[in-house]
Amino acid sequence: MTMTIQKPRRGRPSKHSQHSSETKAALIRSGLEQLTESGFAASGIDPILKKVGVPKGSFYYYFTNKEAFGLAIIESYALYFENKLDKYLLDETYSPLARINRFVESAKSGITRHHFKRGCLVGNLGQEVDLLPESFRPLLIAIFKSWQQRIAACLKQAQIHKELAIDADCELLADGFWIGWEGAVSRSRLVQSCEPIDNYFKHFLATLPQ
């Protein structure tokens, strides 16, 4: 009698593998909510696990430690935010400065929707950098640089559209945009109002060289 060995199906993960991937993604989402509201140093693993329904002992099946978990959360947030920036800054149906304005309005809506409890994860972590694992620092710097490059590229488009002086330093302006932005978001959380963001962006536009 010949035994037929059934080959594993290709292109589709096993149910166990798929479940593990979904659980890991759920942990990252829960961790993102926790870290955005409370920061890394003050955030414990227990409430994150409880929300997802994962036993504490099982956490280390997905992440080697809290540092690895934090890095995964930061990378996930960075990808989400880069996609958000690209959605607005690359939309050529609007003028370059209007694209930046639409990003700002979208961010304000998100902050309001979460009742000013969540700000920018990368900005928040930057404020507690001395309390973070050293591996976080280069990643946070790289993320800010990526965001700065996107704003700078949009400002260069503004020069082509004659919304911005041709001799303007777009890299410097983009750097200033994010420095001011993080402060405005932090102040908005404090006063529970989008007024600081509105005031900041009006000032940013008013100081652009024409």
Give 134-188 pLDDT, tens digit per residue.
999 999 999 999 999 999 999 999 999 999 999 999 999 999 999 999 999 999 9
Lowest mean pLDDT among 89-98, 128-137, 195-204: 128-137
DSSP state of 209: -
- The end-to-end CA distance of the chain, in Å, is 86
Q: Which domains does the chain have, with CATH numbers?
A: 71-206 (1.10.357.10)
Q: Distance between CA 114 and CA 192 in Å, rounded?
A: 11
Give the model confidence (pLDDT) of 2-46 as tens digits.
Answer: 434 444 444 444 444 556 788 899 999 998 988 888 778 777 788
Supply φ then ψ for residue 141, to 5 degrees. -60, -45
Supply φ then ψ for residue 90, to 5 degrees. -105, 5
Contacts of 50 (CB under 8 A, 6+ apart): none
Cβ contact 40:132 at 8 Å: yes
Supply φ then ψ for residue 204, to 5 degrees. -60, -45
Using alpha carbons, select from 175, 141, 140 the residue that is nearest to residue 155: 175
Using alpha carbons, select from 74, 104, 76, 72 the residue that is nearest to residue 88: 104
